[in-house]
Amino acid sequence: MSPSPAPPESLRLLSPADAGWLAALHAQCFDERRRWPAELMASFLRGGAAYGRAFLTGARPAALLLGQIAGDAAEIVTLATLPDFRRRGAAQSLIAALAEEARARRCARLLLEVDQGNEAAIALYLRTGFRKTGSRPAYYRHETGASDALLMEKPLQG
């Protein structure tokens, strides 16, 4: 008997109706201070500039990206990947999809901020073409103190 094929991977457009399971996925990826409750997810996705996609393995959500597209820039607001799916391409696929959508809307760049202590996320962003452009001192609060937010940008045009 041959092994069954891996479940297909796909990206899914998100809507406010998805807020419950999005909040549950987000809660598995972040500590209490950074979790988004369902109502915040729904409210964000109702916004006119909102962008939301989930990465699915079969029918199982593995990652999500929420962003906004306005003017000449698109911004990653939150990106979350379940621990079992990290370093398997889910986040890269979501970033690529946002970049494609932003280019189609004539955006010149992608923006984000990330905790300077989140080495895995910073490595991902550098691998996908982002560069460091600045910081916000003591932006993130932790039980043990505060850390800076790194500002990063990825050019999309030219």
Domains and CATH numbers, the chain: 9-155 (3.40.630.30)
Report the predicted TM-score, pTM, of the whole model to 2 decimal places: 0.90
pLDDT in tens, 98-145: 999 999 999 999 999 999 999 999 999 999 999 999 999 999 888 888
Q: Which residue is listed with tokens 């379940």?
A: 82
1-38 confidence digits (pLDDT tens): 555 445 578 999 999 999 999 999 999 998 888 899 99
* Locus of tokens 């807020």: 19
Between the alpha carbon of residue 124 and those of residues 3, 20, 24, 49, 118, the distances in Å are 31, 27, 23, 25, 10
User: What's the start-to-end Cα distance of the chain, in Å?
Assistant: 51
Q: Which amino acid is at 142?
A: H
Q: Which amino acid is at 35?
A: R
